[in-house]
Amino acid sequence: MFNFVLVLFKYVLVLFNTVLFLLRVSYICLKTIMFLPKTVLVLFISVLVLCYTKFILFKTVLVLFNTVLIIFNTFMFLFDTVLLLSITVLRLYNTILFLCITVMVLFNTVLILFYTGIVLFNTFLFL
């Protein structure tokens, strides 16, 4: 029985809140009708401000995207610079190796000429 009274009291409270809500809605409707021109003007200004805010947000996103692209471009430039430096170092290394091989070939040529001279000298001695 006590639960029934509580449930009934709860429904009465809900009904009372609903009536209060309807009174608030009717008050707002009446106020809106009374100040309709002012409300329309405020709504129009609000829409303009919202559009301008969206435009500013869009421009901000574009600026951020542009900044990200600039940072990415900078990193790509640095990467290209590192690649070019590594290619330059490798070419320098290849040039040094080529010069070393050239010196070794010249040294071997001198040795071959020296050994050829010794062989010719020995051949001359045995004749």
Domain boundaries, the chain: 1-34, 35-126
- pLDDT confidence bin for 125, thresholds 50/70/90: confident
One-letter amino acid of 8? L
Angle value at C-alpha 41, between 37 and 43, nearest 5 degrees? 115
Q: Dig out the tokens for 96 from the structure.
A: 């040094």
- The Cα–Cα gap between 123 and 125 comes to 5
Q: What is the pLDDT of residue 113?
A: 95
Q: What is the pLDDT of residue 117?
A: 93
pTM: 0.46
Q: What is the pLDDT of residue 40?
A: 81
Q: What is the pLDDT of residue 31?
A: 81
Query: How many angstroms separate the Cα of 15 from the Cα of each of 6, 9, 18, 27, 57?
Result: 14, 10, 5, 18, 45
